[in-house]
Structure 1
Amino acid sequence: MLEKLRKDQWRRLEVLCAKRKLSGPQCDELTHLYRQVAADLSLLQAEYGDNDTSAYLSNLLQMARSKMSGAPKLNFFELVSRFFLKDFPIAVWRERGWIIAATGLFLLVALVSGFHVYLNPDALLLTSSKDSLDRYANESFINYYSEHAASLFSTQVWTNNAWLAALMVALGLTGFVPVYILISNAAAVGRAGAVVSLYNSPEVFFSYILPHGILELSALFIAGGVGFSLFVKVLMPGRKTRLQALGDGGKQLLMVAFGLVFVLLNAGILEGYLTPSALPVWLKISIGTFCLLAWIVYFWFFGSRQAQLLAEDEHGYYQPTA
């Protein structure tokens, strides 16, 4: 019965919500109809509970609220711009302390592992033969970057590293996974560097690692630092509840995980095309360093700028808990 009486008003509200711009009288009409439809919805739910009509009115009221609040509808270009100019850089910038800590942990473990193997070469022979170590340093390590087509190799490296970064971010709440991945990879890099240095030369190792590795490893440092930061935020939420800390940290992790796909795409292109190229070593390392510095400037400029803009808005808006 109510549907027959109010159907025209519901349709009118739907028409007003679909309009791109509303005049003054139309805005007043929209407000009046919104109140009436809200009352109709309460009546329907009290008498019949949830049904198709009440679901329709709920959606209609949601559309009307959006229209009255003036919430902007972002198109695809605006969403992409917002992500790259605001969401991604500020998510990384806020966790720069943890990222620096992850970098320090990786470098420390890699140096300790590398020097330990380099200073104890006889220990290597307990796990591998001299021929296999020589073959790795002079053939496998070098041919790894050129034995497949550059496009295929870049794609494979990109997907593998993106998966590893996503794993560190997604399982950051454990606190253990990001640290384990960083330490295990650091130990592997240190050992590889020692083997190549012993059975070939340090110059060969760094000439193949640095052009792409400084950017590739930096992306993993970001993933590890941001992932571990979620564990700390939930463990010590401060003025937030743990649920709030988990929600805010989870949104930030999603931003970082998606953004790192593009950083690692850059690193994958360098590894597939630049590292095995015939360019002079100094030029290859310079290009890799330039790419890393470009990303650092990007995070610093946009991240710090957005952090300053949001500092006042976020200050003091925490739910007090016992």
Structure 2
Amino acid sequence: MDLDVFVAAHQAEWARLEQLLGRGRRLTGDEADELVALYQRTSTHLSLIQSSTPDPMLTGRLTQLVARARATVTGARRGGWRDAARFFTAGFPAAVYVSRRWWIPTALISLAVAVLMGWWIATHPEVQSAIGAPEDLKAMTKPGGEYETYYSSHPAASFAAQVWTNNAKAAAMCLVFGAFLGLPVLGILWVNMENLAAGIGLMGGADRLDVFLGLILPHGLLELTAVFVAAGTGLRLGWTVIDPGLRTRREALAEQGRAALGMAMGLTVVLFVSGLIEGFVTPSGLPTWARIAIGVAAEAAFLLYVYVLGGRAARAGEVGDVELADRAATLPTAA
């Protein structure tokens, strides 16, 4: 398609649509019908340009025009169950799916660091001594010790609520502090992996690593995945500060920030499920294999949710941002 010829052929229609939009509610019946027809045609023009001859400046202009026309034609939307359903079936899983190139490497590197640190603690008694006095460490790792009684030290409901609150706070910090070039996110990750490594190392050094894994895996798989998703999204937000792409830095941060806000709400639900497992399943009398199976099932369900629903929505153009009509108009900038 010859872009110059296409623009020359339809420039008048776009100008007329912009003129009608500028009149607001002062439209006659015929003008309102004309606006709807021009909106539909301009939407088609935008789709053709995006698929055949993408031009950043022209695409940005028509995107702005179509968004304004859609808002005028459809009127103000009211939030409700439909928006919530769209968020959980498309927006949130798509945002997690789109961010996978950030949170999957974050997860792999973080777990590798935790395992290496845990091995170092388990095989070096002097490191264990630096963590705590021998009698204190023995009290923590012995059968019936603090590591085992921790999960049943409070009533299940209050413990689940406490765990949920703490984990949601950590995830929110990762998302919020991502704007500071992602550096605080690395600190939050380090503290989490340090705590995990201490458990692996101390229980491994006491030859009770199997007990520790039986306690941490039921809830830890989903919980850590949520933390890694939050951390990866925060790091992505930090990178956007450095490299905003074909948008102004403000526009890029606004888009990523809106997606991160939605991610925070979605991860709150994921961490709620993890908290329920930690409060009711981990300290339960179920066999270890059954508790771990519940944790694996919850993790598998989340990953299927992300890769099936999220992948489908992402391929349809969903990125976890608010709907086009609700966004501020933006124009791409030159690279």
Q: Tell me which interval the TM-score lies in, with the shorter structure as reference length.
A: 0.7 to 0.9
1:105 aligns with 2:109: yes
1:151 aligns with 2:142: no
Q: How many angstroms apart in 1 are the aligned matches of 2:292 and 2:331?
A: 47
1:229 aligns with 2:236: yes
- Offset at residue 321 of structure 1 (A): 2.9
Q: Look up the match of 1:90.
A: 94
Residue 228 to residue 68, structure 1, CA distance change in 2 (3 Å) = closer
Query: Match of 2:163, as an amino acid?
Result: V
- Offset at residue 226 of structure 1 (A): 0.4
Query: Match of 2:170, as an amino acid?
Result: L
Q: Look up the match of 1:124.
A: 128
Output aligned runs, 1:1-322, within 5 Å. 27-28=29-30, 68-71=72-75, 73-138=77-142, 139-174=145-180, 175-310=182-317, 319-321=332-334
Give the gaps of 5 or more residues in structure 1.
Answer: 1-15, 18-24, 32-64
Which is bigger in relative contact order (C-alpha 8 A, separation at least 6)?
2
Query: Match of 1:155, as an amino acid?
Result: A
Please give the per-residue CA displacement for 1:53-76, whole angstroms capped at 9, x wherever unaligned. xxxxxxxxxxxx888512473451
> Between the two proteins, what is the percent identity of the paired residues?
33
SS of 1:144 mapped into structure 2: helix
Q: How many angstroms apart in 1 are the aligned matches of 2:106 and 2:131?
A: 29
- Offset at residue 278 of structure 1 (A): 0.7
Q: How many angstroms apart in 2 are the aligned matches of 1:222 and 1:292?
A: 13
- Offset at residue 126 of structure 1 (A): 3.5
Contact kept, 8 Å, 1:137 with 1:200, in 2: the verdict is: no
Range with bigger deviation, 193-202 or 213-222: 193-202
Range with bigger deviation, 103-112 or 153-162: 103-112
Range with bigger deviation, 275-284 or 199-208: 199-208
- TM-score normalized with structure 1 length: 0.76
- Offset at residue 89 of structure 1 (A): 1.0
Give the gaps of 5 or more residues in structure 2.
Answer: 1-24, 34-68, 319-323, 325-329
Larger Rg: 1
Query: Match of 2:74, as an amino acid?
Result: G
Compute the RMSD of aligned alpha carbons. 2.7
Aligned length: 266
- Offset at residue 169 of structure 1 (A): 0.4
Q: How many angstroms apart in 1 are the aligned matches of 2:312 and 2:83?
A: 19
Q: How many angstroms apart in 2 are the aligned matches of 1:258 and 1:77?
A: 15
Query: Match of 1:321, as an amino acid?
Result: A
Q: How many angstroms apart in 1 are the aligned matches of 2:306 and 2:127?
A: 43
Query: Match of 1:134, as an amino acid?
Result: K
